[in-house]
Structure 1
Amino acid sequence: MRKKILASILGATFVIGALVGCGSSDATADAQPKADEATEAKEENKELTTITVAASATPHAEILEYAAPLLEEKGYKLEVTVFDDYVQPNLVVDSGEFDANYFQHVPYLDSFNEEKGTHLVNAGGIHYEPFGIYPGQKASLDDIEDGDTIAIPNDTTNEARALLLLQDNGLLTLKDGAGLTATVNDITENPKNIKFEELEAAQVARVKDEVAFVVLNGNYALEAGYSVSKDSIAYESADSEAAKTYVNIIAVAEGHENDEGIKALVEVLTSDDVKSYIESTYDGAVVPF
């Protein structure tokens, strides 16, 4: 499912009449406003190049919407379509239907390319979203009991990330070398006999009332109303290796990473203006890269 947002915001044009000095003729006075009107009309009729982007709703589409007026100053109109899954945004960019997408990190992109045979590349890193453990039926990891269930994402890279975070917090042990490809089959020690409900990433938060804890991607934590700084039981630190590994990127079809429009988009999204917006809006759940 997808929802289109026209993120272009066309600002009003204000014309300041020319001041006519003493001794100027009426003809000169009349000519200046006409010249201003002609310039205004020319600017209004100037066509902007459209950039189409597939994005997750939060925070990606929100950040893009904020960036749209800044991008217009560079001659581009941003058209954003919101997707609620992690598959279609890549397929529509690979097919050429969209120019770019903004929702994923490089490990997921690499895994997707390998599994689906797509040819997508990283055009620029924008932000990092700390992965966190959030309360479900229980509020503290100390309250976990034998046989409790934890909901985690089921895609390759995000499942590994969830398991690594659980390992860092003493709930399980993974076999040596499991790393970013770890699955529940790589668990070597599970002293509390934890059960894992593996779900598509967008569905994990929806079962929070049915399980002990949920482990969430940053954007889905935001959509569920969680604040990483206030609500998470544990999360990846901003200076961790995960911050470098899991930076969210603008992805494009191979060969388009140096297109002028894509370069302008990345430049705006990494500008001080957008960085300030991210820092003041997301309470630590989204960190500029």
Structure 2
Amino acid sequence: MKKNLFVKLSILLALLLFLAGCGNSESSPDDQTLKIGSMEGLQSEVLDVAVEKLEEQGYTVEIVTFSDYQAPNTALEENSLDANIFQHTPFLDSYNRDKGTDFVSAGAAFLNPMAIYSENYLSIDEVQDGDLFALPNDPTNMGRALLVLEATGLIEIEEGVDNPTTDDIIENSKNLEFIELEPAQVTASLEDVDFAAINSNYAVDFGLNPKEDSIFTESIDSPYTVQIVTTQELNDSQKISDLVAAYQNDAVVDAMDELSNGTLLPGWK
């Protein structure tokens, strides 16, 4: 009888070990779910295309949309999101510094390009000595505009300055003059200046397409390319890797082209 009891216990133990092994070999339900934060509107519409790819792989995906620029990171910090897609690197760095978080970029998403427009010239190479350049007067966009202008080769900014002003220009071979305007007024100034740096949202509102109508467009190497942001803990997970792969594919590029009128460019190509 003791022998039979020992055999039964041995069989039961072996069965429990087998079931435990099977449980460890399978993904937990959480590994197949994704909650992604996005700004409402166009950005979430493009994200829908990536979600389709993820769902084909067996993921259950929820897009949570926001209308302000603080809530998506708050949600990520509270672990109610796995990732968000709305912020560029300077914004991310500033948030981490101010809030004590350690969010990281898992990969590039898209660029809302700042571009240079002109009613006088068809090419940035045509800019003349003493021309007047309009740029936004708020600190972030002014610095961004000057970095875009530096990329044309027309000016040089002091090395190491991340958010420059006109005082940081150390080389201005064309003796360009500068006028600082409210961001919404820069587009309206095109008739009165030689060329101007304009954010894509203002450009489109004015009927301009950054890809087709500008004489120079910000490169995707810009630090202002929006990132797929997640936590340190999830950054090496399979589901975040799959999210990046699903976003960085040709179907998403096609959606950007079709839906955005040039205001979204793929940030990884």
Q: TM-score range by the shorter chain?
A: 0.5 to 0.7
User: Within the alignment, does 1:253 sit opposite 2:231 as a pair?
Assistant: yes
Alpha-carbon separation, structure 2, partners of 1:144 and 1:88? 46
Query: Amino acid of the residue matched to residue 180 of structure 2?
Result: F
Q: Using the TM superposition, give the Cα deviation of residue 168 of structure 1 relative to its aligned residue in structure 2, in angstroms.
A: 3.9
Preserved contact between residue 89 and residue 225 of structure 2 (Cα < 8 Å): yes
| 2:96 is the counterpart of 1:117 | no
State the SS of the aligned residue for 2:162: helix
Give distance in 2, aligned partners of 1:110 and 1:133: 26
Structure 1 residues 272 and 121: alpha-carbon distance in aligned structure 2, compared to 1, 3 A threshold: same
Superposition RMSD on alpha carbons, in Å?
3.7
Match of 2:197 in 1: 215
Relative to the length of structure 2, the TM-score reads 0.64
Counterpart amino acid of residue 101 in structure 2: T
Matches within 5 A, 1:1-289: 49=33, 51-55=35-39, 57-58=41-42, 60-73=43-56, 74-83=58-67, 86-135=69-118, 139-140=120-121, 142=127, 149-151=134-136, 154-155=139-140, 159-169=142-152, 172-175=155-158, 177-188=159-170, 191-197=175-181, 204-205=183-184, 207-210=186-189, 212=193, 214-218=196-200, 221=203, 225-237=207-219, 242=221, 245-279=223-257, 281-282=259-260, 285-287=264-266, 289=268
Identify if the C-alpha distance between structure 1 residues 282 and 146 changes in structure 2 by more than 3 Å, giving closer, same or farther. Answer: closer
Distance 1:272 1:229, change over 3 A: closer
In 2: Cα distance, 1:81 partner to 1:69 partner: 17
Counterparts of 1:180 and 1:76, CA distance in 2 = 40
Q: Is the 8 A contact 1:162 1:215 kept in 2?
A: yes
- Matched to 1:208, the amino acid is T
8 Å CA contact 1:120, 1:252 repeated in 2: yes
- CA offsets 1:186-217 (integer angstroms, 9 cap, x no match): 134663441323x6xxxx34652257455345
* Mapped contact 1:132–1:228 kept (Cα < 8 A): yes
Q: Could you tell me whether the CA contact under 8 Å between 1:56 and 1:102 is conserved in 2?
A: no
Residue type of the partner of 1:66?
Answer: V
> Which structure has the higher relative contact order (CA within 8 Å, separation 6+)?
2
CA distance 1:257–1:225, change in 2 (3 Å): farther
> Larger radius of gyration, structure 1 or 2?
2
* Structure 2 unmatched runs, 5+: 1-31
Q: Structure 1: which 5+ runs fail to align? A: 1-47
Quick one: structure 1 residues 278 and 122, their matched pair in 2 at CA, closer, same or farther if it must change by over 3 Å? same
Change in Cα spacing, 1:86 to 1:247, as seen in structure 2 (3 Å) is same
Whether the 8 Å contact between 1:127 and 1:286 is mirrored in structure 2 is yes
8 Å contact 2:139–2:163 — kept in the other structure? no
What is the Cα deviation at residue 69 of structure 1? 2.6
Q: Mark the CA change 1:257 to 1:168 in structure 2 (over 3 Å): closer, same or farther.
A: closer
Aligned mates of 2:206, 2:79 — CA distance in 1: 32
1:101 to partner: Cα distance: 1.6
Contact map agreement 1:125 1:250 (CA 8 A) in 2: yes
d(CA) in 2 for partners of 1:127 and 1:195?
A: 29
Measure the CA separation in 2 of the matches of 1:228 and 1:248: 17
Shift of 1:53: 1.1
CA–CA distance in structure 2, aligned partners of residues 86 and 93 of structure 1: 12
